Amino acid sequence: MGRTSRKRRSSLATRMTIASAALLLGGGGLVAVNVYASAHEETSGPSGESGQDASSAAQQTQVATIDCPDVGNALPDVPDGARGRVDGELATLDSQITEAYQRLASNRAAAAQDPNFVQNSILGPLKDKRVAVLGRIGQDIGRAGGQPPDGLDGMAQCTGRSTGGGGSSSPAPSGSSAPGQDPSQQPEQPGQSGQPGESGQPEQPSTGNGPEAGDFVAIESVQPNVSNARNQRGASRGTFTTKCGRNENGKFNPDNVIVAPGVSNGAHHMHDYVGNQATDAFSSDDDLAAGQTSCRNQGDKSTYYWPVLRLQNGKDEADAGADGGGKDQNVGEIQTPASVTLKFDGNPTSKVVAMPRFLRIITGDAKAFTNGDANANASWSCTGFENRQLKDKYPICPDGSKVVRTFRFQSCWDGTNTDSANHRTHVAFEDPRTGACPQGFKAIPQLVQRIVYDVPPGPGFAVDSFPEQLHKPVTDHGDFINVFDTRLMQRVASCINRGDRCT
């Protein structure tokens, strides 16, 4: 699979700069231009469908994606004996949503002509399929001695919805923040969903697969918004940095061994991997322990992965016809990061304990566009401007500055479990103001991933996503499985607790 890394002074960069400037015309407001139109959708005219008049186009864009309740988040207490079967059923639900979205995308003309088409031909059949799967999930939990959550059957109904111009699906009030961040330090951002841009005109939804121009903002227009808890007496002030490369060897797959173990293409988008080279959907803990690693310190066989970032330059990647790639509406050239930094930090209030081996942590939410941003946690910025972080916008960086993705993982552990049914409740974020862990949780080294890309300035890139998530920046996320050698992990914790900077 080809990998590219564009230099900023190329002719392509010049063209993208011109395109970016064009998008910013009209009183300074970003207009709703789809910069990520899928090769699988017909968008032959401004309305998105050849031969459709303006009213049909408006009706057609009313349903831009499919919004389904996230069943996985509603299952915090699945008995161990049922987890494998339940994970498989959850992956089936994801595949059903993907198939329904693909049907929506390829039948926009029919949806424009018949106001009942989406409900009768897409959402109704989808509900019937989900009812059957939810029934099996309830049976699996019951047979293993558990109690299915109340209201599980009510999660079968999905809805059609418009993007409203490219912001978060459930825009929170100004000042909303990701877990672990100070809400008071988040800025108001221009171009929020359904709100007028600087031109005073509301942005309109696009018929493409996203993102839209409204998903981008010039980083120079964002006010500084980073605030960290101050170290207190007893803090663990050290750091440990592991160097695992930047996926120069091109390890990609669309699996997710944490969320959908044993399911090929469980993510429906492509992941970059550094660290453990044995990672795929079928990797057991023993497979990971025996795997090779790209990390310089061979005692670190951990798995670090995240959605790839693609450049939209009209060129197809080698996965254009593959699962996770073009078949799931992820198109464009995959970008090799310019640099990847993997650092473990301490806690502002206490010493840290060593992570248990095979601890699994997911930060961010791959479905945040339809779920809302309660679990969104990745942030976007530019080199030279990293005191300004964005959660639901991609940054437009000035010339000479590079795009930065940052993932701050949960740094509090329940002291017992290496995973949980919803892959979240066994870990937690520290209090953003005090740095303290929730009661009953222990501080562990906090993984901070910083990924830098040298891409042309302006709207012209996006992360891979589930098709129905429309490549929104708020869906960015990172995954980690700790496969440090036990002795090395003890050294990591000791280094951090001493206040040293170690590698």
SS3 175: coil
Which string of b and e fits 50-72 if b means at least 16 CB within 10 Å? eebeeebbeebbebbbbbbbbbb
- The model's pLDDT over 297-313, given as tens digits with 9 standing for 90+, comes to 999 999 999 999 999 88
Mean pLDDT of 10-39: 39
pLDDT of residue 55 exceeding 90, the answer is no
Give me the residues paired with residue 305 across strands: 273, 479
Strand-strand pairing, 477-481 and 303-307: antiparallel
| Mean pLDDT of the region 217-243 | 96
Q: What is the pLDDT of residue 314?
A: 83
pLDDT at 162: 83
Reported as a pLDDT band with limits 50, 70 and 90, residue 457 is: confident
Angle between helices 83-106 and 124-143 (to 10 degrees): 180
Structure token pair of residue 341? 């930094």
What is the band of 241 on the pLDDT scale with cuts at 50, 70, 90? very high
Confidence class of residue 127 from pLDDT cuts 50, 70 and 90? very high
Average pLDDT for 383-411: 97
| Among candidate residues 349, 343, 124, 407, the one with its CA nearest the CA of residue 232 | 349
Nearest to 499 by CA among 351, 355, 349: 351
- Is the peptide bond prior to 125 cis by the omega test (within 30 degrees of 0)? no
Half-sphere exposure of 193 (CA within 13 A, CB side): 21
Out of 158-167, 292-301, 306-315, pick the least confident.
158-167
Q: What is the mean pLDDT of the chain?
A: 84
**Rounded CA separation 294/272 (Å):** 13
Mean of pLDDT values over 4-20: 42
Nearest to 370 by CA among 442, 288, 243, 475: 475
Q: How confident is the model at residue 210 (pLDDT cuts 50, 70, 90)?
A: confident
When comparing pLDDT for 176 and 474, which is higher? Answer: 474
pLDDT tens, 68-94?
A: 999 999 999 999 999 999 999 999 999
Q: Classify burial at 33, counting beta carbons within 10 Å of its beta carbon; exposed 0-12, middle 13-18, buried 19 or more.
A: middle
Structure tokens at 422: 């919803």
Residue 52 pLDDT exceeds 80: no
**From CA 433, how far away is CA 184, in angstroms rounded?**
10
Task: Name the percent of the chain lying above pLDDT 70.
Answer: 79
pLDDT, residue 62, reads: 72
Per-residue tokens: 198: 């600087």
Give the residue-averaged pLDDT of 45-51.
39
Tell me the C-alpha distance between 419 and 415, whole Å.
Answer: 11
- 165: pLDDT strictly greater than 50: no
Least confident range of 18-32, 100-114, 240-254: 18-32
The residue among 71 and 206 whose pLDDT is bigger is 71
Provide the terminal-to-terminal Cα distance of the chain, rounded to the nearest Å.
31
Question: What number is the average pLDDT over the span 144-148?
Answer: 95
The average pLDDT across 221-226 equals 97
**What's residue 458's pLDDT?**
85
Residue-level pLDDT at 313? 83
Per-residue model confidence (pLDDT) at position 361? 98
Q: How confident is the model at residue 413 (pLDDT cuts 50, 70, 90)?
A: very high
| Residue (of 285, 215, 311, 275) closest to 478 by Cα position | 275
pLDDT surpasses 70 at 453: yes
User: 369 vs 178, which has greater pLDDT?
Assistant: 369
Mean pLDDT computed over 154-172? 66
Strands 239-242 and 501-502: parallel
According to the model, what pLDDT value does residue 116 have? 94
- pLDDT(496) > 70: yes
| Per-residue model confidence as pLDDT tens digits over 95-107 | 999 999 999 999 9
